[in-house]
A and B are shown apart, each in its own frame.
Chain A
């Protein structure tokens, strides 16, 4: 099983600032990495796939980077609706999808 590790567990950021979230896989996942946003009481929403491709309708302030086993989600100019939990997920080892433990973005 590929283990996904996210850091930090909680990130306190002020609106308008930039946030950087990290995700590390236990092995090379060939950029088959997705990021999801989950607001309280809602379903996860796909933000990024292929490590760096924004999903349809996702604002340009969200960007993904990285390769191999180390990945980053960057959110510039944080808006109020961006305070949520973010999960990374590998899909290199189908069908055994695995998710990171999540990073909770909270208002500073």
Chain B
């Protein structure tokens, strides 16, 4: 059974840093891309970041709203992905979902599984 479990969400002050983690099981983690998607309270879904599998360079992408502040990474030996969030702002408050991304020849396609999410609350 495919599982993605996020952790690390908490209450943090504006300007501080936080790292959230995602641990995967039930599939060959290294063969897939990983994206983080967030959902502010009562709002819709916003794509945040993506990392390719090592076979395709492990390269990363970011939404404009977080570029330069957030860093996505992965450790395939632990079947884990991370999102390092620096210079946090009030509007970063959201549930952060870790998602599995199918790729075809290195090109990401479908987001097919989601974790349950971890809540990050940024307060002044």
Please list the residues of chain A having a beta carbon within 8 angstroms of any beta carbon in chain B: 32, 34, 42-46, 49, 55, 87, 89, 91, 94-102
Query: Which among A42, A44, A97, A100 has the greatest number of chain B C-beta atoms within 10 A?
Result: A97
A46, closest chain B residue (CB):
B112
B87-105 residues with Cβ-Cβ distance < 8 A to A are 97
With A87-B45, A100-B44, A101-B44 as contacts: A95 and B108 at CB distance below 8 Å: yes
**10 pairs of A and B residues whose beta carbons are closest in the complex:** A95-B61, A43-B114, A97-B47, A99-B45, A95-B50, A94-B108, A49-B110, A101-B44, A46-B112, A43-B116
Query: Quick check: B109 and A91 within 8 Å, CB to CB?
Result: yes
B58 to nearest A CB, angstroms? 14
B108 to chain A: which residues have CB within 8 Å? 91, 94-95
B37 to nearest A CB, angstroms? 8
Query: Quick check: A46 and B107 within 8 Å, CB to CB?
Result: no
B69-102 residues with Cβ-Cβ distance < 8 A to A are 97
Q: What are 10 A-B contacts with C-beta separation under 8 Å?
A: A43-B97, A43-B115, A43-B116, A44-B97, A49-B112, A89-B45, A94-B107, A95-B35, A96-B61, A97-B47
B111 interface residue per 8 A CB criterion: yes
A43 vs B46: C-alpha distance when bound (angstroms): 13
